Each structure stands twice: as structure tokens, then as C-alpha cells.
Amino acid sequence: MGSAWSVDGNDLNTQPRTGGAIAEKGFSFQKAYALVRLTWLLTGERELVELRYEGAQDVDLRFAGNRELLIQAKDHQQGSFSYSKLKDVIAGFARDMITVTAREGVGANFPGFRLVCTSAPYEESAFQILRRVFIQNHAEAIAPLISEKYREGLDEDQVLECLRNVLGNATFEILLHEEAIADLTAQASWNLVRFGVPPEHVRSSITRLKAALVPRASFQVSDVVENLVGLPDGHPGKDGAACRLLPAKRSLVMTSSMRTAFLHGAVQSLWAAVANGLDVSRSEVSEVVRALADIRASGGMVVVEGNSGTGKSALVRRIAWDAHQAGTHLVLEVVVPGEVDDASWKAVLSLLMLSSKPLLLIVDDVWRHSDFVEALERHIRPGLCVLGTSRPVGVSQKSEMTMLAIHPVRLGPLSTELVEELRDLISTDREPAAQVGTGQIARFMEHGQLLALSLTLQGGSLNEFAANVLRPLRTKAAFHDFLDLCVPGSYDQSAPLSLFERIRPDGIAFWKDESFFGLVSLQKTKNGVSRLKVGHSLVAQAILENEHLSIVDRAIQFCDICDSEMVAERRFVVRLLRDVLADDDLVEEVKSKRQLLADGIQKLFDHASFSDAHRLAKMLLSLGQPALEQKFLAAAKADRVIDSVDVGLALSFRRREDYEELYPRMLEFFEREPNAPGRRRFVYRVQDMGSPAQQLVVIEQTASWVMKHNFPADETLAVLQLGVSATERAATLRLEPMIEAYIESERPSITILNTVISAARRMKLSQLSLKIIRTVISVLRRADAWDSNQKDLVRRVSELIAPEHDAVTRAELGKMIVSTFESSDSPRKLMKTVTAAIIVGDIGTITPIREAINAMRIQGWQEADQIERHFIHKFKHT
């Protein structure tokens, strides 16, 4: 992707481009103009991607598609904007056009030019330039201002052609306002507030941005964000947020150690690698880019699937980085998917509303983060796109999607061209790549094992690569602790830092030792629980195989070391045991150590939560320990439902006796943890199995919650559907405050309004029904054109009309229903629509209703007689 400026490098150092160091009234106006454009970068206004502050050459803008606009911002005193000064400006633009023509040729993608000034010209010749007339005459008048040494070898005709292009295409913006600088600063301030800067911090942010506007400074969105003061926690521009804006390239310096870490598979170096072009090209890029284009309008998720080490993470980051640089998307990395809470989603959606381009969220191992995926489904909307990675997983491991468009892209074999590119990458500034047999390379290529091939080319084999990595580490005091981390790392798991701190309370921890850089990363979370992770699971596997370590013994050891009262440590051990027992390569060793494993599992019993107890019970059964299995199952009672993981498992149980036992605990949990996932599933479970009293309580709790959380679609629909199907009408009536609030919200949706109508029919509250009818009329009135769902909504809302409702509302609704007659695409739908029109119609709708009935009779519809009798009865006095 080309992103260099057309006029750059030494071209900027020529005397005409550095000679404007002193402006007529200083650079205040230029900076104020640039300041507004800097704030445009925050939301991609007008697809702006990059701004360069020139000083002498003023402000350069680069937009999506590599379109450039080179701007001169001049603060002229009134009456001083002469033809002579305008010719100087045009000559400056022409020098840029000459440079691009000389470098790129006639077919170049030429920049655009704009003059922005605070004074109108006063001479007829200047007005002619602004009106683009007598272009040849003015080109000939300006050409002598461009000396020979700045003509880049172009002859006189070519220089005149450049001048004609500028004169014919340049644009002019005149700001005739005494307070132009103050107005521009006010615009920038407002843009900052919209982006999320608290008003009390706007002045400081403006000051910092102005100070950053020095000659030759270039800005992308992250360069602007780092100068902002006071962004709230959770904002994508704030350090430590769960979803973060990508940094600028200058923040991603590729050091030799970082390069080595990347070649060894370290995830923490991926952004630096792709930003510096160190990744290898993949044929699947075009397919992923097309899939992203497909979901742009509706929102959705593209998932790149592949086994460990196939290059999924590098591929999605390459695509995301190119989108970030090109300005096609505003890109956010979801650093810790488990921490994307309601506040994070609110910040992301706020940014989406402001942005002129879609948001792209990057998520690794997306299906392992069910809470994130469920929340994504609740919040999905046009322009919200996710690009995730995943190992191949079964349908049962994926969330049950109803509204989320998902495009899987499976990584295939490696191409010969990719392998050659990989050889070149490994050999650059290094010893020649190790000799590897063609058969081994072919196997790696067939199975798409990019990292395994890379490591093998670096070492001769995976075992030799591991040996080379370990050789300088063996003398380290914490070497064996690092090997312990490789055990969960081989299953692509991280481990709680607290556990390893307890193993080695004294001395230098391996995660702080530079010798382990690239092999270990420390992941910090907002709740204070930090975790350790090996650079890549394939590297961990190679290290363990090289050392001939017993993974089973190490897993048993973790049972001994774990502080089972700490949720993070206990859950870590449970996941590790699950993976070890499911590992086909360890079947025989597991059999020989069944009792030791069972003894280790028993140490987790006292503090095992509901989900832990069930999972451990399943493991014990596989170890031939039915008595212990029953002990753990007997302990898995409602009082052990502690967190969202436990609730998620509890909601998967479908036996009534389980529901009756767990209902009180789940109700209390959602009252205590309002932002926890799973609320929608809980409401549906109560709808299926709840008593009338339980349904009433859950309707009250959930209705209150959705009002406080601005009516998230899934939970709003769930509680409405519960109200519609509740055993007793009294439960449905508890929805009245929520429905009142919803129909007064900013943009009620068609889907939810349909369910609101169903609930209102059962409630039979005349005034509420009237408010719903008026809301529907208002929603439809705002629509430019109606789709089939909106037309159905018109008919459905007529079911709420009551005799006491005012004639004006009835008449307007009647006209709306009549307007849908011709588009009714089936006899059944037309009959329902005509019947609805009869119910609400007045004298103004008699004629179209009669015509519709006559058309039915002509077509021989038997139902026409019944509808006509209804029609005659309704209008017999008319």
C-alpha cells in the first residue's frame, strides 16, 4: 500500500519550500487551521488519514485512497491580497506539481491544491484566477516566477502544463471573519469534546496539540490522541483500555531483539513486525479483505481459522495495519477480550457513531472469549466489524448467533513464493538459513505450518531450534521456573503471575530477565491480576520436547502449588488438567498416574466453584474415580455459583429440578452483578420454566436493568417476550414503565416495536397503546422509504386502535396503511392490510379500501365478501 507523500524528503528542503519562515501575521492562523484538521483525524472526518504541518508550505492532508491535498493557509490583512501575492501562491503549488510530474510521470496521482485565506482579493486579475478563466494567460504570467533550478528538467511547455493543471483544479476558501482564529479553535475544541475529552481538559489538550505543530511534523490518529489530556478510563485512546487505538509507526521501532522475538513467534512483536514490513505475504489477504467489505454495511465478524503456528495473528494484523494506514477503517485492538465491559462497549459505540468510517476490532482466539462474542452480538450494528482468529473449532464451541454475520476464512497450504520470502526474511542480517530437507519443507507447506517451518529453517529442526534457544538460559537461576511456564504455554494458556511469584519469592524472576525477552510476556489486566505467557505454543512444545519434561508430573505439581482460594489460580489449574487429560500423546502416562492426578484434583475440592466442581468431576470419572466424581457433583450446589463462569454453566442445565435449585442464586447474581453476561439466557430460562411469581420478579429486575443500560436489543426483546408469554397478565403489566421509556428513546427499532405491540395488546392500556401508535407513526414518518418490516409494522400497530383514540391519529394511521396496499405481495397479507385499514380508516380512506375489495372480487377471492361486509358495517353511516 503506497502511503508516502508525493512531495517528501529532500524535496521539502528547497529554498522556496523553506523560505516562508516568517508569515505576514505569524503562524497563528495556519496553526488554528491545522488544529481543526488534527481533530478530524480522531474520527476520520472526510476520510482524513494523515496531516503534515509544513510551516512554510503550511498544511498537507492525505485522505483514504492516498489522495493528497496540499494547502496554504494565509492570514492576509483586509485589502492586501493582491494579484502578485496570489501568483506567488500558484507558483508554489506549481513547483509541487512539477516535482510530482518529474518523479512520477504524466499518469501520476497528482495532489490537489487549496488556498485558505482571511482576505478576499481586490484585483480583477486575481478574481479571474478564482473563477478559473483566462488560464493560459495567467499560466504564462506566473511561469517566470519558477526559476530554472526548480523546473526539475521540464521544458517550458511542460511547466505551462503544470501551471494550467493547478489553475484549472486548485480550490479557494475565503474566511472573511475578524475572529477566524477563535472560530477555528472553537471548532477544534468541540471536536475534542465529542471525542471524549472532558471540557475542563480541552484547553490543555489544545495547548499540547499546538505545541506539537512544528515544521515537518506528521500526524495520524494515534499522534493526536497521545496529546489529549483527561480521556476517561476505558476510552480507546487511553492507555490500559480493553480496546485500544493502534499506535503510530514511530512507536513501533523494530530493534534487533524485537526482530529476533518476532522470528521466534513472540506475539508482543507482531505489530512492530507488520508496521516494518517483516511479515511474509499471504494469498488469503484478498479473501479476508473482500469478506470485510461484505460485512461493512451490516456489521459482523470475519474469522481467520487455522491451526497453531499457521500465521493467523500476523495475517489479521497485516490487514488491520494496512486499513489503519490507508484510512479505510478506524482500527482498535481488543487487548484483553475478557475485560471488554459495558463501559468499554459504550466507548466503542460512541466512537463508531462519531466516525465517518467503520470500526475494525482485532481479536485473537475469538471463540475462546464467549462473553465478548455474546456482547458483540448484542451490540452489533452497521459499521462495527471484527477481524478475529481461531483454531478450527466445532459448532458446539461457538456461540449461538442470531444477528451476527460471520465469515470464516480458512488458511490453506503455504505457497512456494511464501517459502522463498520466508527464507529471505530469516537470512537478512543473519547467518544463512539452516539446511532443511525438501520433504520436511513440503510437509510444512501442505499443512500451512508457517511458524514451524520458520523455526526449523532457523535451527535445522524444531529440536535444534529449541536447543539453541535454551543453551544460554540454562545457567539462569529461574530456568526451571520458565520450563514450568512452558507446560501451560504448550496449550496456548497463560498462567497467573501470583503462582510463579510464590514459587520463587527471592532472586530475579525470569520474566524480568532480558535473556528471556521474546520467550515470555507479562499481561496486565485492569482488575489487578497479571498473567505470564510463553511467546508461542509451538515454541513451548519444542522446548518441552527438547528437555524431555513430563507434562503430567508438572500438572500434578501445579495442583500442589496452587492457592485454590484464588479464583485465577484455581481456574488455571482446572484448564491445564482438562488439556492434559485430553492430550492424545499423554494417554499412557495419564493411565499410569491416575491416582496421583486424582489426589491432586482433591486438593482443589474445598474451594471449587460450581463450574470447577462439575469439570473436575468429569475428569475424575475419566480417571476411573466414580466415588470422587460423585463427591464433587454432590458439592456442586447453588451456593457454589460464584461468578459468570458458574452462571454460564448453570444456564446450560435444562432439567426442572436443576432450575428450581439454581434460580434463587442466579437471580441474586444478576442483581449483584448488573454487567455480567448471560442475562438474556436467564430471562429465556425463566420464560420456559419459571413460576408466575418468578416471571413477575424477573420482568421487574430485567426491565429496570434495560432502562438503566439504554435498552440493549437482546435483553429488551427477551423481557418483552417474557411479558408476552407470562402465565399471568399482572406480570406483563410490570412492563409499562419500560415501554413508556423505550418509545420515548432516541431511535426505537422496528423489531422491538413489533414486540412492544404484542405486549401492549395483552396489557390493554388505552393511553399506552395510543403513545405506541404515535411513536410508530413518528418513526415511519422519518423514513425515506419503507421496507417490508416497516409496512408490516403499520398493519400490526393498527391492532392497538381503540374507539376512544382521537380521530387525527386514526386518520393518519389509516392513510399509512392504505399506502401499502399495492406492495402487499400475497393475498393473505393484502387481506390483513385491508382489514387493518377498515379498523382505523375514516371517510378519506373509503375509496382506496373499496377499490382494493373490488380488485379482490375480480380475482375471485372468496374472502372478498367477508371483508366487504366488515367494510359496509364500519361505514354504514357514512
pLDDT digits (tens, 9 = 90+) for 307-350: 989 999 999 999 999 998 888 899 999 988 888 887 888 889 99
Q: Does 237 fall in a domain?
A: no
pLDDT level of residue 26 (50, 70, 90 thresholds): low
pLDDT level of residue 437 (50, 70, 90 thresholds): confident
Going by C-beta distance under 8 Å and a sequence separation of 6 or more, which residues neighbour residue 822? Answer: none
Q: Which amino acid is at 701?
A: Q
* 165/261 same-domain check: no
**pLDDT tens digits for range 846-864:** 887 787 778 777 777 777 7
Last residue of a domain, one of 640, 668, 684: 640
pLDDT level of residue 546 (50, 70, 90 thresholds): very high
* 247/217 same-domain check: no
Q: Does 608 fall in a domain?
A: yes
pLDDT at res. 792: 84
Overall number of domains in the chain: 3
* 393/520 same-domain check: no
Give the single-character DSSP code of 514: G
Q: Does 440 fall in a domain?
A: no
Parallel, antiparallel or unpaired: strands 359-363 and 330-334: parallel
CA 82 to chain centre: 51
pLDDT at res. 257: 85
CB atoms within 10 A of CB 273: 23
**Cα gap 361→339, rounded to integer Å:** 14
* 83/210 same-domain check: yes
Q: Does 394 fall in a domain?
A: yes
Look up the pTM and report it: 0.78
pLDDT level of residue 106 (50, 70, 90 thresholds): low
Give the single-character DSSP code of 433: P
Q: Does 847 fall in a domain?
A: no
pLDDT at res. 877: 63
Please give the average per-residue pLDDT across 603-632, as a whole number. Answer: 96
**Could you please report the per-residue DSSP string of 760-828?**
HHHH--HHHHHHHHHHHHHHHHH-SS--HHHHHHHHHHGGG--TTS-HHHHHHHHHHHHTTTTT--SHH
Last residue of a domain, one of 223, 257, 284: 223
* 18/167 same-domain check: yes
Q: Does 760 fall in a domain?
A: no
Query: Which cell numbers in the block locate residue 453?
Result: 517451518
* 154/44 same-domain check: yes
Q: Does 348 fall in a domain?
A: yes
Going by C-beta distance under 8 Å and a sequence separation of 6 or more, which residues neighbour residue 88? Answer: 145
* 52/126 same-domain check: yes
Give the closest residue to 512 by CA, choosing from 530, 526, 529, 490. Answer: 530
* 158/217 same-domain check: yes
**pLDDT tens digits for range 31-87:** 899 999 999 999 888 889 999 997 655 899 999 888 889 988 887 777 677 888 889
* 262/355 same-domain check: yes
* 481/383 same-domain check: no
* 514/367 same-domain check: no
Q: Above pLDDT 70, what percent of the chain?
A: 92
Q: Does 798 fall in a domain?
A: no
Query: Which cell numbers in the block locate residue 792?
Result: 408490516
User: 87 lies in which domain range?
Assistant: 9-223
* 368/490 same-domain check: no
Last residue of a domain, one of 396, 412, 428: 412
Is residue 552's pLDDT more than 90? Answer: yes
CATH at 378: 3.40.50
